[in-house]
Homo-oligomer: A and B are copies of this chain.
Amino acid sequence: MTTGNTKHDQELMKKINKELVLHLIREKGPISRAELARVSNMSSTSIGRIVSEFIELGFVKETEEKTSGVGRKAVLLDINPASVYVISLELDQNATKIGLVDFNGNINLSQKVNYDPRANHYESVLKLICNSVEEFLSGHNIDKSKIIGIGIAVPGIIDAQKGTVIFSPQLGWENVDIVKYFEEKLRLKTTIDNVIKSRALAENVHGSTKGSKRTALINFGTGVGSALIVEEEIYRGATNSAGEIGHTTVDPHGRLCECGRIGCLQTYITEEALLQEAKIYKNISNVNEIFVSADSGEKWATRLLDRVYTYMGIAVCNVICMYNPDTVILSGKLIDKRPKIIDIIAKKVDELIWDPFKNTYNVKGSNLGESAGILGVSTSVINKYIDIEM
């Protein structure tokens, strides 16, 4: 219960009404003012006032008149995707993705910039990224005045409020004040968030779990992470670090993890761990060779992969036990390379899950794939913008 007052309450009410109208146009557009009034049960005066405001802000546009049945022509309203844009970035181990995302969540342009954040000082890396964004803007003749902000999805522990990367083993960064750097350099409002949380949000708003009330996403990459989305909102925890399934302990007598602790779940799952073990038996140089060996019937590879799938299944089961989601999305490089893994893991989960959870969840792949990080963080930027503008 938050404290409030009448004036504050009226403002809140207006905001709720505006958000409702925007939501309806988004979901049902093109839609007429009359239909909006009918569906929302608001007066035509209120609808007229709110819609005018949206048109002025550029969010909403009137489409060409269209014959509605036998009657007279009606002006219809729709979201104007080109009203405002977000520049979204996803910082990965070897490359930075840059995307131009419109108000409807479409990626209009995108580009990859290769870099090596672990081999260079973070300032020179940030400089490189900022220069790339400027080139992206000028190279594509993007009108900077239409950009409402920059969103950056970063792997690791992120303080989204302060705008800092607390700790990113993937980038080799600790306490990097990334938002401050971007805002000074590019003069655009900047938002950062954890990439797995961003991906999960994107899948819930635009992707394969639209309509789900409790989506968990598990990412198998250089680490293993998870995120929980409750009714289109990220569950963050006290310090934006909820979901660190990869560093839950499964065996106090197990392997040393890159985090310096013993027996973390991810020591059985990550590409690095897989590669390290495979090398005991065969001189291979990348994970793909394990899959190739397994495909050609080499027993060591099928055994190794079967164990990985089992631990992936355990990771999913443990997420289900803790979050009790209606849907679990599996994502990450390992999955992207071999989407059929999803069915293998889903079967493992069905075997391993505790009876009371049977039939409470679906296991799915992402349907946004590599775009999910960029889309998710742009959703956060757009939500923040709408929240301020209303």
Contact = CB atoms under 8 A, between A and B. Distances in A.
Interface in A7-39: 7-9, 13, 16-17, 19-20, 23-24, 39
A43 B8 CA distance: 13
A242 interface: yes
User: Copy number of this protein in the oligomer?
Assistant: 2
A248 B325 CA distance: 15
Contact of A9 (B17, B311, B326): B17
A275 interface: no
A269 B112 CA distance: 49
Nearest to A10: B13
A244 B250 CA distance: 15
Given A23-B1, A244-B322, A238 B314 contact: no
Contacts of A244: 321-322, 324, 354, 356-357
Q: Among A8, A23, A248, A356, which residue has the most Cβ atoms of chain B within 10 A?
A: A248
Given A9-B16, A238-B360, A322 B42 contact: no
Interface residues of A, number: 69
Interface string A352-375: 101111001100000000000000
A43 B6 contact: yes
B248 A317 contact: yes
A237 interface: yes
Given A237-B323, A322-B248, A324-B238, A1 B20 contact: yes
Interface string A147-162: 0000000000100000
A249 interface: yes
A214 interface: yes
Interface string A232-262: 1001111111111101111110000001110
A145 interface: no
A40 interface: yes
B356 A166 contact: yes
A364 to B, nearest CB: 15
Nearest to A307: B252
Given A3-B23, A6-B42, A239-B357, 20 more contacts: A1-B232, A4-B20, A6-B40, A6-B41, A8-B41, A9-B16, A9-B17, A157-B356, A167-B355, A237-B324, A237-B325, A239-B356, A241-B356, A243-B324, A244-B324, A248-B248, A251-B251, A252-B311, A259-B355, A322-B322
